[in-house]
Amino acid sequence: MVIAMGLRLIVLRHGETDWNREGRYQGCIDTRLSREGHVQSAAAARALAQRRLAAVYSSPLARARETADLIAAPHGLTVSEDPAFAEICHGLWEGLTVEQVRSEFPDLYAAWQERPHTVTMPEGESLAGVSERVFNRLNRLRADHDTETVCLVTHGSPLRLLLL
């Protein structure tokens, strides 16, 4: 898929959470930033304070929203939450550590590591589903903010899909 854009998009992953440090799958569980995550998010806000941002968009999950709020504040902007930019739903893996998933779902975990595009999480999502919602919304952002600079605060899976 080729997308020509006049939109300038700054994409950021949310700051650290305790679960990131513990190696837990968060997915759609609404975890908050850790103390270090607040420090990271404040640093991102300072780095972007001199940029002219037309809008700040965020996943509705607290860890992304907290990061986006810090970025939007110096610009006097209100964050626009959008569920299209939420993290992949890891289903039954959510709350488990990588080691627990590797032990309880060995074949699926191996497939996720080697061929993630072929995996649908048990009671969760596939990368194809996440890709569809992210790129559909990105096309609307492009139309709404052509020639403007927008900051998007999201999660690992949507970011990887955008970068690919």
pLDDT digits (tens, 9 = 90+) for 38-89: 999 999 999 999 999 999 999 999 999 999 999 999 999 999 999 999 999 9
Residues marked active site are found at 14, 155
Q: Which two tokens stand for residue 51?
A: 């940029």
Would you give the distance in Å from CA 121 to the centre of its chain?
Answer: 17
Burial class (CB in 10 A: 0-12, 13-18, 19+), 164: exposed
Give phi and psi for 80, each to the nearest 5. Answer: -100, 110
pTM (two decimals): 0.92
| Cα–Cα dist 22/101, whole Å | 13
pLDDT digits (tens, 9 = 90+) for 87-145: 999 999 999 999 999 999 999 999 999 999 999 999 999 999 999 999 999 999 999 99
Q: Map tokens 């513990």 to a residue.
A: 22
